[in-house]
Structure 1
């Protein structure tokens, strides 16, 4: 990698640190158990059909499992779930699911046993409709939304500049720095 490329990548990373995003936990399950990751790289794509896209590093343990399963769940966290996000991010494998109240949802015959966080602001269940290589390190999974469960709360956990925070109609709060 050239020094110019390294410099651009570093500046790009620093610029993106100022881009606030909702914190989610992406999950899936297969014959080997549950798998998940904390992510902010989630974006709506369309309302017709309802769909979204997630970016997953090819080296992440969940990547081959989403690829094989063809479905995943995006759990949108609330401000009260910062400890779940931190614990989930620092744990490995099945140990991640020790953080939070997890249940399995069967949406239809092809979407059985999908883990979702019961207390999440929303759990969005998707079937993979397309996968795109994203220039080397990541894949973009486009998911068609097949089911949504909402808690009714609106106080999303956000991540910006290495810190968790939140905003809602009542206040804006900045939380601790994530190491």
Structure 2
């Protein structure tokens, strides 16, 4: 690995705020029940085999729950689900049960909660983890996909939510 260069953290964070990202709620089933967290650091790795990566800060209360569960579901939010994002990000410090009570959930293959009417839900088995700096990168093999009725999306850019309007199916 190359030598690390000192980068100003606030400047890096500001640069990343200018990189628009889809808003997702990543869920799992843990020993204490369902758990979920709002995540923007999600992307595809390859379509053969269908693999995604999800980055979670190791200081997150849900990091170990996700890692130990071995499964997760990436729920890509539609614009009408914007209100769920700050709730699952921890605003209001609601217990998990109350967070999940704000929406309707089902199960796909792994048993992790899949948000009804999400733009898409990708149900995954965690194949590999790599620790980088403050985060763990989860490489996830997609086990099942459910597409919502709308291709519209919710993006976070410039520290604000933006609705991306797609076509109805």
Pick the TM interval, shorter chain: 0.7 to 0.9
TM-score, length-normalised on structure 2? 0.88
Summarize the alignment of residues 95-114 of structure 1 with structure 2, pairs less than 5 Å apart: 95-103=98-106, 105-107=107-109, 111=110, 113-114=111-112
Instruction: Give 1:106 deviation, angstroms.
Output: 4.7
Equivalent position to 2:115, from 114, 117, 123: 117
Structure 1 partner of 2:149: 152
Structure 1 partner of 2:77: 77
| Structure 2 residues not aligned, in runs of 5+ | none
Structure 2 partner of 1:19: 19
Between 7-16 and 43-52, report the one with greater CA deviation: 7-16
Contact 2:153–2:166 (CA<8 Å) still a contact in 1? no
Structure 1 partner of 2:126: 128
Summarize the alignment of residues 1-40 of structure 1 with structure 2, pairs less than 5 Å apart: 5=6, 8-40=8-40
Alignment partners' CA distance in 2, 1:49 and 1:166: 30
Structure 1 partner of 2:161: 164
4+ residue segments displaced more than 6 Å: none
Structure 2 partner of 1:86: 86
| Partner SS state of residue 68, structure 1 | helix
Structure 2 partner of 1:174: none
1:131/1:93 Cα in 2 relative to 1: closer, same or farther (>3 Å)?
A: same
| Structure 1 residues not aligned, in runs of 5+ | 171-179
Instruction: Give 1:94 deviation, angstroms.
Output: 2.7
Alignment partners' CA distance in 1, 2:56 and 2:84: 20
- Deviations along 1:60-118, one digit per CA (max 9) or x if unpaired, are 12211121111100000011111121233213433321222122x151xxx2x321111
Over the aligned positions, Cα root-mean-square deviation in angstroms equals: 1.7
* 1:61 matches 2:61: yes
Instruction: From the two aligned structures, give the one with the greater helix fraction.
Output: 1
Alignment partners' CA distance in 2, 1:27 and 1:8: 32
1:116/1:150 Cα in 2 relative to 1: closer, same or farther (>3 Å)?
A: same
